């Protein structure tokens, strides 16, 4: 039972990290950032490349993953998002371009490193910690620790800093935020780069825990998106709750139906969330009809 | 010659898929990334009907269409009021769940190894084995599908679809029920995709989950977007470009072991470039109203 709780906690931590990364972009820029799945993979492979050069330096690997993710985020902003924004593209345009970027990233990774599964050198440094009959690895402990630290930092940053207020203002109304002197474009760029750097580090941690392969990012993105949409982007506490719910659902579902259906179970949870929220959307529509 | 006939078969199958998806994307403004799921449902149902139930190909194809439509109706009934990103995410969920079922329900689909040995279709005693005869069958099916799609998207019903794309609230105010229309059109498109799937199974003689994954959905969507959604010739042009372009790469001398990745990278880049430079003509709302 305790082991099941530990498994739920580990999955919830990964879900929370990806959810924070995804919702940082989704909340501010208002588009479904598919490419984040590719950035997670790119972060993992950057760490793999760094560890091939300096095998016993996990800190350098973390920097490599964050830097790789961040640089990819900046590249996407400059080459894809900014031109789309200048042309006044709708959210669907951003979504399609992001889908294209995801395909380009994962296939570029496959082209450079191949399709085969690889093991990070840092995984050998990981060892099992046993406590009260619960066994978790040091990498998994790092995932839980980073998730907790990220949640606390995000909560403090959003609630008590000027940058957090700027984020909230742009997410609420970008035009009005510009009127009061907030550089909305800068906020967009910072959100994208911060989200991408975090995604890169998540990629490294999951790769160190499991393995590295080009298909690593998409299931993680789906997990994070489910947690983010179960909660509410911009509210850290609801993201934590969302990550907890999706993790419990996924682990219980895997227990009943088998591990191979984990991804499908996550998607069914997301689908159920969307269907339940339909009532809210319908109510909003009815209100608009009445106003009309 | 056989190679050209094979290309014609592939073009016909993708023409059905792209035209049916265009009804959703171009005419009703619903971005779907689940089209390959219904394509796969059609392929698997037709395969199982032919191999397990020993049904003739025509009956198997009809059964595939019916199952595709019923499944789509069951999924879209509660999703009819979803819009924009929520609807895209819902279609993504459907695609991922379908892919997972194709791979993991080994008792039914034989998992990742797929199902082999599907016999070629026989109609009125004539066997459609080989690309020559099958090109005629798939070409006819494509013409019927394009004609049906054109009829659906023109006239009063077509105008209703365009109105839903422009503003669902206005359609509601006019006393119409956009949710019902959405379900009907989603089912119609799913039925056509299932028909394409049954043709694919009959032609290739082998179905496996890799043919019906998310990337396949993105490829079909790319055909619609690159060609230009909302017309007859746009999606067909997209099909021509995205089917023939990778074939042209064979003659450039790219090594076979990296050809798949290079092709996918080019698809991705094309999708990005077209979205940046032609997004306004394709997906932005207000196009029909301005006309």
Domain boundaries, chain B: 2-212
Residue B35's pLDDT is: 94
Which value does ipTM take for this structure? 0.85
Residue B85's pLDDT is: 75
Contacts with A, B 141-200, CB within 8 Å: 168-170, 172-173
Residue B56's pLDDT is: 92
Provide the number of CB pairs (under 8 Å) joining chain A to chain B: 148
Is A90–B169 a contact, with Cβ atoms under 8 angstroms apart? no
Please name every residue paired with A270 in a beta bridge, in sequence order, or none if there are none: none
Find the Cα–Cα–Cα–Cα dihedral B77, B83, B85, B91, rounded to 10°.
20
Give the chain A residue nearest B93 (alpha carbons): A267
Residue A215 with chain B: CB contacts under 8 Å: none
User: Looking at the complex, does the CB of residue B52 fall below 8 Å from at least one CB of chain A?
Assistant: no
CA distance A261 to chain B (A): 7
User: What would the 3-class secondary structure string for chain A be?
Assistant: CHHHHHHHHHHHHHHHHHHHHHHHHHHHHCCCCCHHHHHHHHHHHHHHHHHHHCCCCHHHHHHHHHHHHHHHHHHHHHHHHHHHHHCCCCHHHHHHHHHHHHHHHHHHHHHHHCCCCECCHHHHHCCEEEECCEEEEHHHHHHHHHHHHHHHHHHHHHHHCHHHHHHHHHHHCHHHHHHCCCCHHHHHHHHHHHHHHHHHHHHHHHHHHCCECHHHHHHHHHHHHHHHHHCECCEHHHHHHHHHHHHHHHHHHHHHHCHHHHHHHHHHHHHHHHHHHHHHHHHHHHHHHHHC
Residue A123's pLDDT is: 64
Tokens read off for B51: 């191999």
Contacts with A, B 127-146, CB within 8 Å: none
Residue A85's pLDDT is: 85
User: Looking at the complex, does the CB of residue B89 fall below 8 Å from at least one CB of chain A?
Assistant: yes
CA distance B97 to chain A (A): 5
Is A92–B88 a contact, with Cβ atoms under 8 angstroms apart? yes
Tokens 């993201």, residue located? A239
Residue A222 with chain B: CB contacts under 8 Å: 96
Integer angstrom CA distances of residue B199 from B12, B57, B118, B204: 10, 9, 11, 9
Mutation to test the B interface, candidates A103, A223, A258, most B Cβ within 10 Å:
A103
User: Looking at the complex, does the CB of residue B270 fall below 8 Å from at least one CB of chain A?
Assistant: yes
Question: Splitting chain A (292 residues) into consecutive groups of 10 residues, what average pLDDT does each group show?
Answer: 84 92 85 90 93 84 93 92 84 86 93 86 73 83 90 87 86 85 87 92 90 88 89 83 90 83 86 74 50 50
Residue B171 with chain A: CB contacts under 8 Å: none
Is B275–A100 a contact, with Cβ atoms under 8 angstroms apart? yes
Which residue of B31, B93, B104 is in closest CB contact with A261? Answer: B104
Is B276–A89 a contact, with Cβ atoms under 8 angstroms apart? yes
Residue B225 with chain A: CB contacts under 8 Å: 96
From first to last of the 291 residues of chain B, give the pLDDT tens digit. 788 899 999 999 999 999 999 999 989 888 889 999 999 999 999 999 999 999 999 999 999 999 999 999 998 887 777 777 788 888 988 999 999 999 998 888 898 899 998 998 888 888 888 888 899 999 999 999 999 999 988 888 999 999 988 888 888 888 888 889 999 999 999 999 999 999 999 999 999 999 999 889 999 998 998 888 888 888 999 899 888 887 777 777 777 778 888 888 988 998 899 888 876 444 443 343 333
User: B97 — phi, psi (to 5°)?
Assistant: -65, -45
CA distance A233 to chain B (A): 14
Is B264–A261 a contact, with Cβ atoms under 8 angstroms apart? no
Is B81–A270 a contact, with Cβ atoms under 8 angstroms apart? no
Cα angle A108, A112, A118 (rounded to 5 degrees) comes to 110
Q: What pTM was estimated for this model as a whole?
A: 0.87
């Amino acid at each position: 039972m305790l082991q099941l709780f530990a498994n739920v906690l580990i999955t919830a931590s990964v879900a929370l990290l990806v959810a924070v990364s995804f919702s940082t972009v989704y909340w501010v820029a208002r588009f479904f950032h598919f490419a984040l799945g590719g950035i997670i993979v790119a972060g993992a492979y950057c760490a793999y490349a760094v560890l091939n050069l300096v095998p016993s330096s996990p800190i350098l690997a973390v920097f490599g993953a964050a830097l790789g993710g961040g640089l990819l985020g900046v590249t996407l902003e400059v080459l894809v998002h900014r031109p789309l924004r200048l042309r006044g593209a709708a959210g669907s345009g951003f979504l399609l371009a992001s889908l294209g970027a995801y395909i380009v990233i994962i296939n570029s990774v496959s082209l450079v490193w191949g399709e085969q599964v690889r093991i990070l050198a840092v995984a050998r440094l990981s060892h099992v910690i046993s406590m009260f009959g619960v066994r978790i690895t040091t990498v998994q402990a790092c995932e839980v620790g980073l998730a907790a630290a990220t949640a606390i930092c995000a909560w403090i940053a959003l609630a008590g800093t000027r940058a957090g207020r700027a984020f909230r203002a742009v997410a609420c109304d970008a035009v009005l935020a510009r009127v009061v002197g907030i550089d909305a474009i800068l906020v967009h760029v910072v959100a994208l780069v911060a989200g991408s750097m975090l995604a890169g580090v998540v990629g490294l941690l999951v790769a160190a825990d499991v393995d590295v392969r080009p298909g690593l990012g998409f299931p993680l993105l789906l997990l994070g998106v489910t947690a983010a949409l179960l909660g509410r982007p911009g509210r850290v506490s609801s993201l934590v709750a969302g990550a907890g719910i999706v993790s419990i659902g996924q682990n219980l579902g895997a227990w009943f139906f088998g591990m191979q259906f984990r991804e499908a179970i996550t998607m069914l949870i997301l689908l159920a969330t969307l269907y339940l929220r339909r009532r809210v959307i319908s109510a909003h529509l009815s209100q608009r009809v009445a106003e009309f | 010659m056989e190679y050209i006939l094979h290309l014609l078969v592939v073009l016909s199958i993708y023409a059905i898929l792209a035209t049916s998806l265009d009804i959703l994307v171009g005419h009703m403004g619903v971005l779907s990334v689940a089209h390959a799921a219904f394509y796969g449902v059609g392929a698997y149902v037709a395969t199982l009907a032919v191999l397990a139930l020993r049904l003739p190909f025509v009956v198997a194809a009809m059964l595939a269409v019916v199952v595709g439509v019923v499944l789509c109706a069951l999924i879209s009934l509660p999703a009819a009021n979803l819009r924009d990103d929520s609807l895209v995410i819902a279609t993504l969920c459907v695609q991922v769940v379908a892919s997972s079922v194709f791979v993991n329900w080994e008792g039914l689909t034989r998992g990742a190894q797929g199902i082999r040995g599907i016999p070629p279709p026989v109609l009125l005693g004539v066997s459609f084995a080989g690309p020559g005869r099958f090109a005629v069958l798939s070409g006819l099916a494509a013409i019927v599908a394009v004609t049906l799609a054109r009829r659906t998207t023109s006239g009063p019903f077509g105008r209703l679809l365009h109105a839903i794309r422009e503003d669902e609230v206005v359609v509601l105010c006019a006393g119409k029920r956009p949710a019902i229309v959405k379900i009907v059109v989603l089912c119609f498109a799913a039925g056509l995709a299932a028909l394409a799937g049954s043709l694919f199974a009959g032609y290739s003689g082998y179905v496996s989950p890799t043919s019906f994954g998310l990337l396949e959905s993105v490829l079909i969507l790319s055909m619609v977007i690159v060609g230009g959604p909302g017309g007859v010739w746009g999606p067909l042009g997209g099909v021509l470009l995205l089917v023939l372009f990778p074939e042209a790469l064979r003659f450039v001398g790219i090594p076979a072991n990296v050809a798949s990745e290079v092709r996918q990278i080019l698809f991705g880049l094309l999708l990005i470039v077209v979205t940046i430079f032609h997004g306004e003509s394709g997906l932005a709302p207000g196009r029909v109203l301005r006309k």
